[in-house]
């Protein structure tokens, strides 16, 4: 097998290669707003004659699991199907549409109102969910992703997530944390958050008065986020490359802090060993190049929206909020969602 990302975007290419995928650069002809996936796939096959089977995985379906893809590949390679596509079972009663101005009544499409049964007693219907389409080369060359000897693959409802419009995003984020794929290793509960002070807890700006006193600003929402983490039993520690002891003292956060840290990773490593934690149990919020190695090492990593490019590439989560403007609170909420995922896994 080989994994390819088809794109015409430089940044997407960099991220794809960073995670080990190969990249096919789309031509302008198949990179228009009106271009279809089939057009991009056919162009890809024109450049890769060695490929006989294509699995088109949709980026808008983030709950897809590797086990599903392995089973689908077996259907084509071992059972001789020409195309396989994903479906989900729905229990929804359908009625015919009556357009405005039409002089007619709606009609039931898949039920008898006189013998209406409970939906939980009904086997339901199968709908395409758009998660993936697998097909052999000869079908795609004819302009089809579905055809020949066809089969559907029924996905579990909790894994069937499709992002079409803005309102789908928060639903998808919740579903991914509850049912998404997080690798073979079991999830660990976060027990420590390490936060870079300058640029995360503060906005990174330093104000100097006429008498040469320094002042910084912070967002009260971030202080609330730190308090919420502590109430959930998660320790919060702070780190900075500069000596900001007076600032920390004035903020009265009650957190262990390391200032004048020339090697943040070494500090993080010492804390990890002293507390007897695994790296999976540590979350890190940073924003600068000096945070990159810590972001890579921690089990959960995040950066504010205005973090430097290298830090953003190393992080698992990019906040919508900027440093000093609610990023700590937002990342705390992200940690709480992971805790829900851990608790859900334990119940199962």
Q: Which residues are catalytic?
A: 116
Separation between Cα atoms, residue 164 and residue 298, nearest integer Å: 32
Residue indicated by tokens 């262990």 = 256
- The span from the first CA to the last CA of the chain, in angstroms, equals 32
- Helix axis angle, 327-347 relative to 220-231, nearest 10°? 20
Cβ-Cβ contacts under 8 Å for 287 (sequence gap 6 or more): 196, 199, 200, 204, 303, 304, 306, 307, 308, 311, 323
Tokens of residue 269, six digits = 């490593």
Q: How far apart are CA 296 and CA 30, in angstroms?
A: 35
Encoded tokens for 187: 């999830």
Under 8 Å between Cβ of 283 and 193: yes
**Structure-block tokens of residue 55:** 């699995």
**161: which DSSP letter?**
-
Kindly state the tokens that stand for 220: 């009260």
């Amino acid at each position: 097998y080989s994994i390819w990302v088809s794109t015409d975007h430089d940044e997407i290419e960099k991220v794809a290669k960073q995670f080990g995928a190969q990249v096919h650069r789309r031509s302008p002809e198949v990179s228009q707003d009106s271009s279809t996936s089939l057009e991009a796939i056919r162009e890809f096959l024109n450049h890769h004659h060695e490929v006989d089977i294509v699995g088109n995985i949709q980026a808008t379906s983030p709950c897809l699991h590797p086990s599903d893809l392995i089973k689908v590949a077996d259907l084509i390679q071992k059972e001789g199907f020409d195309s396989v596509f994903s479906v989900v079972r729905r229990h929804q009663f359908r009625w015919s549409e009556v357009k405005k101005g039409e002089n007619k009544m709606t009609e039931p499409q898949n039920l008898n109102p006189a013998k209406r049964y409970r939906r939980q007693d009904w086997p339901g219907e199968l709908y395409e969910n758009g998660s993936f389409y697998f097909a052999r080369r000869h079908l795609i060359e004819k302009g089809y992703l579905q055809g020949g000897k066809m089969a559907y693959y029924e996905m579990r409802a909790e894994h069937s997530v499709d992002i079409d419009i803005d309102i789908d995003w928060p639903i998808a984020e919740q579903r991914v944390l509850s049912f998404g794929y997080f690798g073979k290793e079991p999830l660990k509960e976060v027990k420590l958050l390490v936060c870079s002070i300058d640029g995360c807890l503060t906005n990174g700006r330093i104000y100097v008065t006429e008498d040469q006193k320094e002042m910084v600003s912070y967002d009260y929402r971030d202080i609330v986020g730190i308090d919420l983490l502590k109430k959930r039993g998660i320790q919060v520690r702070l780190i900075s490359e500069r000596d900001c002891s007076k600032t920390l003292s004035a903020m009265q956060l009650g957190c262990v802090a390391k200032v004048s840290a020339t090697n943040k990773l070494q500090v993080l490593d010492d804390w990890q060993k002293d507390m007897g934690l695994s790296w999976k149990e540590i979350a890190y919020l940073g924003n600068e190049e000096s945070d990159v190695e810590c972001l890579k090492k921690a089990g959960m990593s995040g950066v504010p929206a205005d973090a430097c490019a290298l830090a953003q590439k190393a992080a698992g989560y990019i906040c919508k909020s900027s440093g000093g403007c609610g990023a700590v609170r937002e990342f705390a909420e992200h940690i709480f969602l992971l805790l829900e995922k851990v608790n859900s896994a334990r119940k199962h």
